[in-house]
């Protein structure tokens, strides 16, 4: 009987070639790298509080550290995409964190915006040229840049340059592309 088990195991392993089914034809190769492929499930990764503060320091050295809630975990595994939702109770902490950093950045003025003359259209264009791309970790689309510019333009007349700049920082920091 033992001899038969060994032979059966050898035959099974000999038949295994490392793939199941037929090979795909031409362009239908699935290598798991095309994000538009419907077979891939969208994953959500949220920055941990440490990562959030580290990213903020990368953008604005010297900015105040903020206190954010830790993500949930299951069986010791953290950053589970299905558990990365921000509930209403924790949303206020993210809003307060973005407000704190936005206010601090506007108080720093030109040094935080990395421009020469704070509050000018050229300064905002310079800021939009580096900050959202750094925060989102990818190039901005034209529509995103237009939307962010309109955040500043729609608020500067009523609230002034410092508050409008702070609103722009808050908008980026509260964006799902950053969090």
Across the chain, mean pLDDT equals 82
Sorted by where each begins, the domain ranges of the chain are 48-173
pLDDT at 165: 97
pLDDT at 98: 95
pLDDT in tens, 99-128: 999 999 999 999 999 999 998 999 999 999
CA gap 171, 2 in Å, rounded: 69
pLDDT at 4: 66
Asked which of 27-36, 40-49, 62-71, 145-154 is least confident by mean pLDDT, the reply is 27-36
| Cβ neighbours around 50 below 10 Å, total | 11
pLDDT at 82: 58
Give the percent of the chain with pLDDT over 90: 53
Give the residue with greater pLDDT, 16 vs 164: 164
- Could you give the 3-state DSSP secondary structure of residue 73? strand
Q: What is the mean pLDDT of residues 142-148?
A: 95
Q: What is the mean pLDDT of residues 7-19?
A: 60
Give the residue with greater pLDDT, 140 vs 80: 140
CA gap 106, 173 in Å, rounded: 14
């Amino acid at each position: 009987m033992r001899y038969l088990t060994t032979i059966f195991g050898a035959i099974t392993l000999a038949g295994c070639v490392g793939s199941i089914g037929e090979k795909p034809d031409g362009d239908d190769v699935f290598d798991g790298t095309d994000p538009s492929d419907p077979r891939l499930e969208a994953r959500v990764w949220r920055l941990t509080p440490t990562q959030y503060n580290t990213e903020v320091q990368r953008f604005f050295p010297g900015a105040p550290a903020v206190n954010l809630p830790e993500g949930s975990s299951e069986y010791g595994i953290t950053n589970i995409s299905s558990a990365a939702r921000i509930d209403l109770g924790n949303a206020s902490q993210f809003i307060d964190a973005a407000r704190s950093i936005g206010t601090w950045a506007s108080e720093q003025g030109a040094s935080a915006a990395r421009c020469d003359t704070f509050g000018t259209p050229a300064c905002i264009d310079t800021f939009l040229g580096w900050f959202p791309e750094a925060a989102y970790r990818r190039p901005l689309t034209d529509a995103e840049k237009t939307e962010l510019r309109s955040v500043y333009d729609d608020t500067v007349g009523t609230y002034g340059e410092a508050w409008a700049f702070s609103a722009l920082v808050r908008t980026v920091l509260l964006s799902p592309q950053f969090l």
